[in-house]
Amino acid sequence: MRALKENEVASLGDQASRSGTVGKAMSVLDLVANARTPPRFTDILAQSDQPRGTLHRQLSILVDEGLLSLNRDHTYSLGLRLLMFASKAWAENQFRVIAEPHLRALHEATGETVHLGVLRGTEVIYLDKVEGRQAVRMYSQIGNASPAYCTGVGKAALSALPDEELERIAKTIRYRRFTDTTIVTPEALIEEAARIRACGNAFDREEHEPGIRCVAAPIHSTDRSFVAAISVTGPAYRVSEHSIATWASIVRNTASDIMEDMRVRLSPRS
Amino acid sequence: MRALKENEVASLGDQASRSGTVGKAMSVLDLVANARTPPRFTDILAQSDQPRGTLHRQLSILVDEGLLSLNRDHTYSLGLRLLMFASKAWAENQFRVIAEPHLRALHEATGETVHLGVLRGTEVIYLDKVEGRQAVRMYSQIGNASPAYCTGVGKAALSALPDEELERIAKTIRYRRFTDTTIVTPEALIEEAARIRACGNAFDREEHEPGIRCVAAPIHSTDRSFVAAISVTGPAYRVSEHSIATWASIVRNTASDIMEDMRVRLSPRS
DNA sequence: CGATAAATTCCAAATAATGGAACTACGTTT
DNA sequence: AAACGTAGTTCCATTATTTGGAATTTATCG
């Protein structure tokens, strides 16, 4: 059994395998989702802390429910029902709906790719994306989770958290150096958040991927229980430091327009 | 408790609320997903056959797991974790990956929107879409479920089912007349499937939406345990009956190319 | 402010999940 | 071809989780 102490904060971010049946089922889904290649029963068993019989039954249930699919070669992949759920989750997400026209406007103004991401634990989940030529696959990015500490959207969102929350999360993160400029300590991250609060923008200066530059600005609900961010991103060869600096205020303004719209449209009784 | 007889086929398609804890949880998700507007606790309670206490705890668990989110006004919406799962489900779906280049080629050849959908019970779920101008929102369609009996992709997929399966499903469907030409009886649907089998193409002649025309062709695994279809769709004002007829063979050929690719790449040990 | 409805908490009873072991299917080696 | 090993599946008494009615707290409206 998974050692899980009294004070189980079990905050999301890592694979939280709670005591409940649903939680266990989700842990199994996570295992399948995070596998490099569709795992076989034994592969999942090795990763999981559950006995054979139990795991097997859980998998069967997930397959029956359409959350997993069992391929002919006995490997498991995520099921189509998840797509159905996600499609509705996305289409009906009020925040996304409200932000959408602003994202389009921001794209018009800058000509570069615009992202909308929300913070979930130590990660940002991309909720929307507006780009010009559809060079990359559509659906790409949306739903993707990236580390918050080394992306423009992520750092902007973190900066909007209350101090204690920020500190707690900064300590929770397991830092990994992606490039020379990646932030790799809680202290540096908290400092960076202070800078972002001061100027209103987060910058990603090739901290996650070399060759990618980005300006972002935070968005939050009035009580900060919900934080998100928008960004403009582009390849370094096309987007100079100067362009980035120029866009900073437009991005900030777009962010506050979105917040204003949220305040109005998500007020008491909408 | 939900009356659910001995012979509970409980085939998917309608909201299958099984006995298991996970099944119940998914039923709750379905209720939220199918609500017109984010439901409050009481709204869900009214739809659900569960007692207050039980339902409330289930909702709490789903919120904790990130499958639902509880908005400030006490309404529930689908959670972001579903987006994360779906994003991986989509990106890693082998069938979709294999089909993708063929869909692109088909779009090049026709200039109209190409869809890829798989059959799930009485519905088709759109797995991919290739279109020219990104007039409509990206993400649109993908993950959407539509009735199989009145869409090109759906009818094509149904035609690929073994006879007994087709018959069983034809009887399960609850038909609804969308337009003048909508098929509304099991018999008519089975006849239509026979026609599709004979010529290799399904046509949607404004059966679901007026003003929309479509040619489709079925795709299936060798054992037909998995059936899908592709289609070319366009507005009637731009796409004549004649264009549709012209594209029929290209669509069929694309479908068989995809099947061939599947046979090769999804063979015993890939 | 008081009244009413909605949301949340509680805990003994009911039920579903557990997990070790036994069994089957399949592919590999001698 | 038989024996072996590995991967997958089934079984059922035990155990832990879910259940659900009622009581409590919190929000909403006149």
pLDDT tens per residue, range A147-187: 999 999 999 999 999 999 999 999 999 999 999 999 999 99
Does residue A205 sit in helix, strand or coil?
strand
Q: Are A200 and A91 in contact, with CB atoms under 8 Å apart?
A: no
CA of A56 to C1' of D8 (A): 9
- Check B26 against A83: CB less than 8 A apart: no
The sign of the torsion formed by the CA atoms of A176, A178, A184, A186 equals negative
Would you say the pTM of this structure is higher than 0.95? no
Helical (H) or strand (E) element with B158? helix B152-159
B62 interaction partners in chain A (CB closer than 8 Å) = 22
Q: How many CA atoms lie within 13 A of A229 on its CB side?
A: 32
d(CA B214, CA B239): 9
- Check B23 against A65: CB less than 8 A apart: yes
d(CA B245, CA B65): 50
Residue to substitute from A88, A133, A225, interface B, most B β-carbons within 10 A: A88
Mean pLDDT of B239-265: 95
CA of B43 to C1' of C4 (A): 18
Q: Name the H helices within chain B.
A: 21-34, 41-47, 52-65, 80-92, 94-110, 152-159, 163-172, 186-199, 241-265
> Percent of chain B scored above 90 by pLDDT?
82
Tell me which of B18-22, B117-121, B252-256 is least confident: B18-22
Position A210 scores a pLDDT of 93
Q: Which residue has the higher pLDDT, B8 or B130?
A: B130
Helical (H) or strand (E) element with B76? strand B76-78
pLDDT at residue B15 is higher than 50: no
pLDDT at residue A10 is higher than 60: no
Position A132 scores a pLDDT of 73
Place of tokens 């998100």: A228
d(CA B104, CA B119): 21
pLDDT at residue A100 is higher than 90: yes
Q: Are A137 and A196 in contact, with CB atoms under 8 Å apart?
A: no
Distance of CA A164 to the CA centre of its chain: 21
CA of B268 to C1' of C30 (A): 26
pLDDT band at B58 (very low <50, low <70, confident <90, very high): very high
Count CB-CB contacts under 10 A for residue B242.
8
DSSP tally for chain A: helices H, then strands E? 9, 8
Give the end-to-end CA distance of chain B in Å, rounded to a whole number.
Answer: 46
Tell me, what DSSP letter sits at residue B68?
Answer: E
For B65, the closest of A23, A79, A82 (CB atoms) is: A23
pLDDT band at B9 (very low <50, low <70, confident <90, very high): very low
Residues written for chain B: 270
Q: Are A15 and A27 in contact, with CB atoms under 8 Å apart?
A: yes
d(CA B102, CA B258): 7
d(CA B246, CA B225): 30
For B88, the closest of A33, A120, A129 (CB atoms) is: A33
Helical (H) or strand (E) element with A250? helix A241-265
Distance of CA A4 to the CA centre of its chain: 25
Chain A residue at shortest CA distance from B25 = A22
Residue to substitute from A77, A85, A140, A222, interface B, most B β-carbons within 10 A: A85
DSSP string, A20-67: SHHHHHHHHHHHHHH-SSPPBHHHHHHHS-S-HHHHHHHHHHHHHTTS
- Check B80 against A225: CB less than 8 A apart: no
